[in-house]
Amino acid sequence: MENPTLMILLLYQQDLVEKCFPEEARNQSHIQEKLRASDYMEALRLADEGLSSDDQSLKLYRAKANCGLRRFTDALTDLDILCCLRPNWTEGFFRKGDVLLEMGQQKDAIIQFQRCLQLQADFVPAKSQIKKVLEAQGVSVPEDVHCMFQAVCDYLKEPYPITTLSGSQGPGMQILTDMSITLFGTKVKHDTSTECCLSLCQAVSFLPAAEDEDDMMMRREDGNRQREQTLSVLTVSDFECPLCIRLFYEPVTTPCGHTFCKNCIERSLDHNLRCPLCKQPLQEYFKNRKYNPTVLLQDIVVELFPSQLSERKQVHDAEMAELNQSNLTKDIPIFVCTVAYPGVPCPLHIFEPRYRLMMRRCMDTGTKKFGMCSYEHGEGFAGYGCMLEIHGLELLPDGRSFVDAVGRDGYHTADIEYLEDLKVDGHDLEVLQSLHDSVYQQAQDWYQRLSSRVREQIIRQYGSMPDKEDDIQGQAWCWWLLSVFQLDPAYQTTVLSLTSLNERLGHLRLVLQYSSQS
């Protein structure tokens, strides 16, 4: 059998395989060296010597060696058995197709390549081989997989779709059809050539067949002891993320084969769209953003290091809780850019890595809020700003994003205090109402005097001028007017920091008077 633990670890990294299975790894390494040197006879000898009833993985190397020796029927025999044991193994069917091509059996090869695309629609090598074969026959091959299937079926003169798992009717399939065969001590009867290979997989055990229940129990105990001995050589350090140097949490594996914590690779890709270890480009990986967890690696960590994983999860949860402050007053993320105002749309184009991280954290924690302040020389950012709420976030393929945010009331963080306007009543409220109505009318007159082209530009960017509200101490139109005027950021911050509507209206009146004169 192909050792299941070995198969799991192969998804992670080769050094773990060598650590757990030193003898098997050395043997496979020697065979690979012989294959690279085209010493196929020696590779075949080593594969035959290392092949055992409970490890069929060397049959793949034996098939390669037989191909090199042009013993294609023998190669197909091994590949057929392996594909039956692993009916979803795309590469196995692809290798069968290549062997059939070498034998000149193009139609049988095409069926194998089509099977690859049924298992994995984006399997590029199979697409390339189908195009190569059909175009050599003068057949036009479309890029779309379903259209490609139809072109293949037209070429084969068979109904669409082809659903046989094996698809091979060449010499290599004869061992699996119309005869009884014995694999690993288990006899399997195949009556017709149309029987699906999956039935063989269901009938044939990966382990040598046990003669009785006691034999099965002894075999299971031996397997458990061997497994415990194998896994005992592994330590937590074998499962550490190379970026954070901590136990993997939500591990994901890149197309180049390297594994990282999900958060770690996301932060790395904020800065550079290349693998942090081998520097292979990861633009397509980032574009798709399919950070699916490496489930088998997760299972290993859960089984071998449950207490360490629990501690790692507590650290992660604590970090997320720190980012998700319920009262939104402590360590608020600050976007240092410009002055924003309550109730006024503030579209943003995010491209700096630190702010990409900030936006992702705001979305992941569910707060969807951050502070916006203008830059202030010597201080980093102004002492007054506006809280923004994210209404929408559009991610672009290269990592940039467009953020649709509206003002409500590494990257910088700050402890904040919310400001409220001073409430007035009685005679002071009457005076304030009169001033409010006067300045609003002045603003309307200014707005109407603008050309239609300028008004359209303002509406596109800031929306229409808000109506006057019944509660003058809400006055959204004040913030709208301040955002429309292209004022000095320091002056904008000063007006934003005022808690007196009377003073704010006074500043607006001066700005309107100056604007009308100019």
Alpha-helical (H) ranges within 366-451 are 426-449
pLDDT tens digits along 376-418: 776 777 777 888 888 877 766 666 666 766 665 554 555 656 6
Task: Count each helix (H run) and each strand (E run) in the chain, helices first.
Answer: 22, 10
115 contacts 95 by C-beta, under 8 angstroms: no
Closest CA to 349 of 385, 284, 395, 285: 395
Lowest mean pLDDT: which of 11-15, 55-59, 238-242, 279-283? 11-15
Residue 27 CB coordination number (10 Å)? 17
33 contacts 42 by C-beta, under 8 angstroms: no
2 contacts 56 by C-beta, under 8 angstroms: yes
**Looking at the predicted structure, is the pLDDT value of residue 178 above 80?**
no
58-68 vs 72-85: helix crossing angle, rounded to 10: 160
Cα distances (Å, whole numbers) of residue 458 to 118, 227, 343, 447? 53, 70, 15, 10
pLDDT tens digits along 201-213: 332 333 333 444 4
The distance of Cα 215 from the centroid of its chain, to the nearest Å, equals 46
Evaluate whether the domain defined by 4-203 bears CATH number 1.25.40.10: yes
Evaluate whether the domain defined by 332-414 bears CATH number 3.40.50.1370: no
pLDDT band at 363 (very low <50, low <70, confident <90, very high): confident
Lowest mean pLDDT: which of 207-221, 341-355, 438-452? 207-221
Lowest mean pLDDT: which of 125-129, 167-171, 293-297? 167-171
What does residue 280 show for φ and ψ, rounded to 5 degrees?
-70, 140
Q: What pLDDT does residue 16 have? A: 65
Highest mean pLDDT among 46-55, 142-151, 207-216, 436-445: 436-445
Closest CA to 152 of 188, 117, 185, 183: 117
Average pLDDT over residues 37-63: 79
Q: What pLDDT does residue 231 have? A: 58
Of all residues in the chain, the percent with pLDDT exceeding 90 is 3
pLDDT band at 310 (very low <50, low <70, confident <90, very high): very high
Cα separation of 484 and 454, whole Å? 11
Beta-bridge partner residues of 342: 407
**Looking at the predicted structure, is the pLDDT value of residue 503 above 70?**
yes
Q: What pLDDT does residue 407 have? A: 60
State the DSSP code for 212: S
pLDDT tens digits along 114-135: 888 888 887 888 888 888 888 8
Domain boundaries, the chain: 4-203, 236-321, 332-414, 426-517
Closest CA to 95 of 123, 130, 60, 69: 60
Q: Output 57-64 pairs: Cβ under 8 A, ≥24 positions apart.
A: 57/2, 57/3, 57/6, 57/28, 58/27, 58/28, 58/31, 60/95, 61/28, 61/31, 61/32, 61/35, 63/95, 63/99, 64/35
State the DSSP code for 422: P
Cα separation of 4 and 16, whole Å? 14
Q: What's the mean pLDDT when you consider all of the chain?
A: 74
Residue 240 CB coordination number (10 Å)? 14
Q: What pLDDT does residue 327 have? A: 54
389 contacts 406 by C-beta, under 8 angstroms: yes
Cα separation of 6 and 4, whole Å? 5
Rg (CA), the chain: 34
pLDDT tens digits along 469-499: 776 666 778 888 888 887 888 888 888 888 7
Of all residues in the chain, the percent with pLDDT exceeding 70 is 71
Is 70 exposed, middle or buried (CB count within 10 Å of its CB: 0-12, 13-18, 19+)?
A: exposed
Is 467 exposed, middle or buried (CB count within 10 Å of its CB: 0-12, 13-18, 19+)?
A: exposed
Lowest mean pLDDT: which of 16-20, 323-327, 348-352? 323-327
Instruction: Specify the CATH architecture of the domain 236-321.
Output: 2-Layer Sandwich (3.30)
pLDDT tens digits along 455-473: 888 888 888 888 887 766 6
Average pLDDT over residues 311-319: 87
Lowest mean pLDDT: which of 283-292, 362-371, 391-400? 391-400
Average pLDDT over residues 487-516: 83
Average pLDDT over residues 409-434: 69
54 contacts 208 by C-beta, under 8 angstroms: yes
Average pLDDT over residues 445-457: 88
Average pLDDT over residues 184-200: 33
Q: What pLDDT does residue 248 have? A: 92
pLDDT band at 164 (very low <50, low <70, confident <90, very high): very low
Cα separation of 141 and 473, whole Å? 68
Please name the amino acid found at residue 281: P
- The CA-based diameter of the chain, rounded to the nearest angstrom, is 105
464 contacts 476 by C-beta, under 8 angstroms: no
Beta-bridge partner residues of 404: 347, 392
Q: What pLDDT does residue 408 have? A: 54
**Looking at the predicted structure, is the pLDDT value of residue 249 above 80?**
yes
Q: What pLDDT does residue 406 have? A: 62
**Looking at the predicted structure, is the pLDDT value of residue 4 above 60?**
no
What does residue 332 show for φ and ψ, rounded to 5 degrees?
-75, 130
With a CB cutoff of 8 Å and minimum separation 6, the contacts of 336 are: 373, 374, 375, 380, 381, 411, 412
